[in-house]
Structure 1
Amino acid sequence: MKKLIAPLALLMCASVYSAEVDQYTTRHLDLADSSEIVNSRANAHVRTALETLKDQGCQEDLLYSELRKAFANHKNGELTIHMLHAKNFPRSVIGLRESIYADWNSWDGYLLGRPAAAKSPLALGPLLNIDGVRVATDKFEHLFGRGFMYFKRHYLKGHSLKRVFKFGIRGEKTIFGGNKLATGIFSYADLSANFNGMRFWNHILQLRDDVMADNQGPYVSCIDNKFVQVKDIDFRTYMDESMDESINCPKFASKKTMKKYLSRVEGMGYTCPMSQQTLTDMMTKYGDFSHWILNEEGPGKINYFGEFR
């Protein structure tokens, strides 16, 4: 019985968090830029949070708790829920059976290959256009959720960046997809969203320097013992091609699943990465951090031990 506990726990966690992305099937279709809508709603949520806290002084932990009511995952985050479900919000939704994962079966990745997955509206994350960059809604979830965990560990608890990166990699190899009990897909783009989420949360108050020496904040400051918004959030600062899985290619739980993926991609006349130059630009942008968030090798089988050192 005890031998079953760990796999079952992993499966339950993965079923809550895992969503995959198809950046190929609809890339030829026009998609309206939603960055202004997302930014507007995000800043409205900030103002609502600050109004709630106006008589409670400037407690950093309370600010983050209040903001995370909007900036969280598809179950709890008001902003994410809006992106997923609001009428007239510009997004591209792809059915699993029409996607590059149409050939997936339970042996490739149980959560994506099981029959019930085809009926789930969240099996594949809808795509958004953020100032010309197509990213899936799950990247916002990683930015808000895992990004906050990165932020807490590095900036508040003092963990080294290497330790924080490895924490994120372990999660991606387990509950976030990169094994056969989950979806069988290890997403480097998720790791980039996690990292940029750490930066986003640090920029909120900007009490500590940005790890890339790019202090975008503060968005909120303490003035007369009250939190006040002093700068608008703009997610164009954070969303870039490192979160596009046709540029920052995934790896897979087995060579067989990798071949299925590439067969679909190449059958549409595409490659991964779609643009080597764009990937090179991302490597230049992120410098030494690239090792932890960018796939420089292209699609392959994920190595569960020794992949990142």
Structure 2
Amino acid sequence: MSRGFLRAVGSGTATIMMSVYSQTVLAAETDQFLVWDVELRDSAPALNTYLNQETERFLAEENALHGAEHSAALVTQDLYLYLFRSILDSRLRHFVMTAPDIDRYPPSTISYPEHLEMSIYSAKSFPFILPMARTIRIGDVYLGIDKLSHFFGFGRRYFKRYVRLREEGYPEDVAMEKTVEWGMWYERYLVGNLTDGIYSYADLEANFQGMMMARSFSEGPTPLLVRTGDKWTLARPIDIRDFVNPGFDESYNCSRFMGTRRSQVMHVLESEVCPKRTAPLVQARFERYQKWKPSFSQQFVDRKLGEQGWTPHTDAVFDLWCASGKAEGLPESPRTTP
């Protein structure tokens, strides 16, 4: 066996492992079932203030270095990288995890082992061991902090891919479909199944909405970024609530669980979560959620997975689980988007 062949194999293996690692550092588990009996303060005002301040700071640096030399699309991609590179390198995540104006559950006094034990992931599912992301509220939506990682991390990747496809001549809807399908592949074969045994529909929605906010910086008749002389400036304040919807809430837009993860999670859902399903706070929250229409991505994901034999989402599936007490005999996806 030649050294050249071994080097090629080693290089290929290293590339795959680095790809897996790069996705893993975006990953975390989150459990919005824990906040079915908790009312958090809206963190949108504090988060919006932070995003606008950091964007202004970034633009000042960008303008000093490059003026308005770069395109709005490239500046947007660099802004996303400035805010978030990975779980281990993210000024945005640090802010959300530590700022006193961000209301988190469970609070920081609860350790990782305690948080894990409280959650639907309390049963150990080797080798799936990932950080637990706490829950916050943005507008009326409850979501894991990990969704902001997806929003800016994979949102940037979605946007970069979308821009390239548009430059290659694909129509807008086709470029979006191809981008979402690429994200579905990653969720199925790398990010979700490989790292935690979970295919998260909420992650896919956060990815897509991150791209949509990126598009709002550089597209349309009134983009957020405007060229003023030799500088880029914000035309108006950023409001992340425009892009956060109930699809980010994993207790509403439930994930598909794989292998041993499925049976372990189903047991907890049946014994501890189902009894809370009819609580007034949960009912009121879901009534608000149901006013949102599924996004382009949600509709596309449902259609593509349905074509592959996966159970399309339905409002009734989770309720059927709770009513029957026999999750193993029901469809494999408890997804409950509107």
TM-score (norm: length of structure 2): 0.72
Structure with greater proportional helix content: 2
The answer to whether structure 1 residue 267 and structure 2 residue 271 are counterparts is: yes
**Cα distance change of structure 1 residues 167 and 67 upon mapping to structure 2, 3 Å threshold:** closer
Aligned-partner Cα distance in 2 for 1:178–1:279:
27
DSSP-derived class of the 1:83 partner: helix
CA contact (8 A) 1:10 1:174 kept: no
Q: Counterpart in 2 of 1:23? A: 32
Give, in angstroms, the shift of residue 131 of structure 1: 1.3
Give, in angstroms, the shift of residue 83 of structure 1: 0.5
DSSP-derived class of the 2:179 partner: helix
Kindly provide the CA deviation profile for residues 62-103 of structure 1, in whole angstroms up to 9, marking residues without a partner as x: 453145212444322312221123355311137111211111
Q: Counterpart in 1 of 2:313? A: 296
Aligned-partner Cα distance in 2 for 1:174–1:270:
33
Kindly provide the CA deviation profile for residues 47-74 of structure 1, in whole angstroms up to 9, marking residues without a partner as x: 1011112342221224531452124443
1:186-265 equivalences under 5 Å are 186-206=199-219, 209=220, 218-254=223-259, 256-265=260-269
DSSP-derived class of the 1:221 partner: strand
**Cα distance change of structure 1 residues 251 and 267 upon mapping to structure 2, 3 Å threshold:** same
Gaps of 5+ in 1: 118-122, 210-214, 303-309
Q: Counterpart in 1 of 2:110? A: none
Aligned-partner Cα distance in 1 for 2:62–2:267:
53
Aligned-partner Cα distance in 2 for 1:14–1:67:
16
The answer to whether structure 1 residue 157 and structure 2 residue 165 are counterparts is: yes
CA contact (8 A) 2:193 2:199 kept: yes
Give, in angstroms, the shift of residue 281 of structure 1: 4.6
DSSP-derived class of the 1:69 partner: helix
| Higher alpha-carbon Rg | 2
The match for 1:81 among 94, 111, 125 is: 94
Aligned-partner Cα distance in 2 for 1:149–1:64:
8
Give, in angstroms, the shift of residue 10 of structure 1: 6.4
Q: Counterpart in 2 of 1:307? A: none
Give, in angstroms, the shift of residue 126 of structure 1: 1.1
**Cα distance change of structure 1 residues 174 and 41 upon mapping to structure 2, 3 Å threshold:** same
Aligned-partner Cα distance in 2 for 1:49–1:200:
17
Alignment length, in residue pairs? 277
CA contact (8 A) 1:69 1:76 kept: no
Kindly provide the CA deviation profile for residues 117-173 of structure 1, in whole angstroms up to 9, marking residues without a partner as x: 5xxxxx111111111211111111111111111111112332622221121011111
**Cα distance change of structure 1 residues 156 and 11 upon mapping to structure 2, 3 Å threshold:** closer
Q: One-letter code of the match for 2:56?
A: R
The answer to whether structure 1 residue 49 and structure 2 residue 58 are counterparts is: yes
The match for 1:176 among 191, 207, 213 is: 191
CA contact (8 A) 1:14 1:177 kept: no
Aligned-partner Cα distance in 2 for 1:68–1:49:
11
The worse-fitting range, judged by mean Cα deviation, of 23-32 and 291-300 is 291-300
Kindly provide the CA deviation profile for residues 229-280 of structure 1, in whole angstroms up to 9, marking residues without a partner as x: 11111111111101111111100222x43232122123222459x7786776
Identity of aligned residues (%): 22
Aligned-partner Cα distance in 2 for 1:88–1:234:
17
Give, in angstroms, the shift of residue 287 of structure 1: 5.6
Aligned-partner Cα distance in 1 for 2:121–2:202:
17
Aligned-partner Cα distance in 2 for 1:129–1:62:
28
CA contact (8 A) 1:147 1:194 kept: yes
Q: Counterpart in 1 of 2:309? A: none
Q: One-letter code of the match for 2:244?
A: M
Aligned-partner Cα distance in 1 for 2:185–2:297:
20
Aligned-partner Cα distance in 1 for 2:298–2:277:
25
